[in-house]
Amino acid sequence: MTIRYKCRHCETEIGQLPLDSIDEHFLKKNDITHEEKDLYIELGNEGEYTVQCICEECQSSLQKFPNYYALKKWIQ
């Protein structure tokens, strides 16, 4: 099982970590709300987690064009 990090805008896979390399305490940590978990973390069919985040390219674009924040999906 793995934890995948994927850009929520361009859907590029940023990286992945084997789940067995993650400390159990880290997984149980509750620094984010249930709403944030529902919005940014998905559990796949095979038990893998996908974390929706942002890649450096999309972050750079958002800094240049802040009006993109108002759009749910701005890359077509």
Let me know if residue 75 belongs to a domain: no
48 and 1 Cβ atoms separated by less than 8 Å? yes
Let me know if residue 10 belongs to a domain: yes
- Per the model's pLDDT, the better-predicted residue between 63 and 25 turns out to be 63
What's the number of domains the chain is made of?
1
With a CB cutoff of 8 Å and minimum separation 6, the contacts of 10 are 55, 57, 58, 75
Q: Is the pLDDT of residue 6 over 80?
A: yes
What pLDDT shows up at residue 70? 78
Let me know if residue 57 belongs to a domain: yes
Residue 36: domain span: 2-70
pTM over 0.85: no
64 pLDDT band, cuts 50/70/90, is: very high
What pLDDT shows up at residue 21? 65
What pLDDT shows up at residue 67? 86
